[in-house]
């Protein structure tokens, strides 16, 4: 009577036998089959930072589930891969074709250098790496060219970088191309400006999981908050003492204020270390103890 609609004849036979002979080793399967409205694999998104970590996560899922098809249905990806899946399906709403090109750093340099040349900006006075870094940080903060320009008012150098940013975006749009920073920023803008698309993914992902949360930047924080905005079933794993990527936009505030954002959040401390000896831990704790 309570078996889910996707249960097979084998599942029903199993449950019938379990009722007469409830062996302990069969309890997990029985509970799963009797769960009310269980999550499907594709209703879970698990985000991490590196391709290697995402690959290991998928391998562990396959081992735990014993089902390659189910494991592959879980959205176990990096931030950029997950966003690319969304963009390929809906990027037309941003004025791009679905067959857009991803520009690497060399492509990005070429376009920005060309823009600087047209704006008559001397690379000796406007260091290319500095300009690229400022534009990249602006995208991490979800600042459009117009917002960056308004923020730069009164600062000559930043005003000129704002001009570069503006014309760079126009050139990228004309080439139907996105850079690495665009992938997350454009996905956030897509979700924020298209309520029907946002609702679709909010209702799809009943569970949102994020690894290495202390390394997330503002754009990644907004992205995961949007995806978890309907069910608010979000689990993040991180350690503020391991936050070392501020130089590339990581915002430690994300993990420090997680419990303020999600009022019913439960904190589970993982205090058993399986990697290091006591001497290493003691030394590390002495250093961490000085953190502000």
Bridge partners for 56 per DSSP? none
**Half-sphere exposure for 280 (CA within 13 Å, toward CB):** 5
- Taking a C-beta distance cutoff of 8 angstroms, is the pair 236, 210 a contact? yes
137's tokens? 């940080």
Closest CA to 222 of 267, 197, 246, 186: 186
DSSP-based three-state secondary structure for 9: helix
What is the Cα–Cα distance from 4 to 133, expressed in whole angstroms?
52
Mean pLDDT per block of 10 residues along the chain (292 residues) reads 63 89 88 79 92 92 85 93 96 92 96 97 94 96 96 96 97 96 97 97 96 92 95 90 72 84 88 88 89 78
Closest CA to 178 of 108, 229, 243, 90: 108
The DSSP 8-state label assigned to residue 120 in this structure reads T
**Half-sphere exposure for 98 (CA within 13 Å, toward CB):** 5
Position 1 scores a pLDDT of 43
Sign of the torsion formed by the C-alpha atoms of 154, 181, 179 and 204 = negative
Instruction: Tell me phi and psi for residue 223, to 5 degrees.
Output: -60, -50
What is the Cα–Cα distance from 208 to 196, expressed in whole angstroms?
19
> Can you point out the beta strands (E) in the chain?
44-48, 75-78, 101-103, 177-179, 207-210, 234-236
């Amino acid at each position: 009577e309570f078996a889910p609609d996707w249960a097979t004849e084998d599942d029903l036979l199993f449950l019938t036998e379990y009722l007469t002979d409830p062996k302990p080793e069969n309890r997990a399967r029985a509970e799963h089959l009797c769960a009310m409205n269980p999550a499907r694999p594709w209703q879970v998104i698990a985000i991490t930072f590196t391709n290697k970590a995402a690959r290991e996560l998928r391998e562990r899922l396959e081992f735990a589930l014993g089902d390659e098809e189910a494991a592959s249905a879980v959205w176990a990806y990096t931030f950029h891969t997950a966003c690319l899946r969304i963009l390929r399906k809906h990027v037309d709403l941003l004025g791009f074709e679905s067959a857009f090109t991803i520009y690497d750093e060399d492509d990005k340099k070429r376009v920005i250098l060309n823009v600087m040349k047209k704006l008559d900006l001397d690379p000796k006075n406007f260091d290319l790496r500095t300009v690229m870094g400022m534009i990249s940080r602006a995208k991490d903060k979800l600042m459009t060219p117009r917002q960056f320009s308004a923020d730069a008012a009164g600062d000559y150098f930043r005003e000129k970088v704002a001009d570069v940013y503006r014309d760079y975006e126009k050139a990228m749009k004309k080439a139907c191309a996105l850079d690495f920073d665009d992938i997350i920023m454009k996905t956030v803008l897509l979700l924020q400006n298209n309520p029907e698309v946002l609702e679709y993914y909010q209702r799809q992902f009943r569970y949102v999981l994020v690894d290495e949360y202390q390394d997330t930047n503002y754009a990644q924080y907004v992205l995961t908050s949007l995806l978890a905005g309907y069910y608010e079933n979000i689990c993040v794993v991180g350690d503020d003492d391991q936050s070392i990527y501020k130089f590339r936009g990581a915002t430690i505030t994300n993990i420090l204020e997680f419990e303020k954002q999600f009022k019913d959040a439960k904190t589970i401390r993982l205090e058993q270390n399986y990697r290091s000896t006591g001497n290493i831990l003691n030394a590390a704790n002495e250093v961490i103890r000085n953190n502000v």
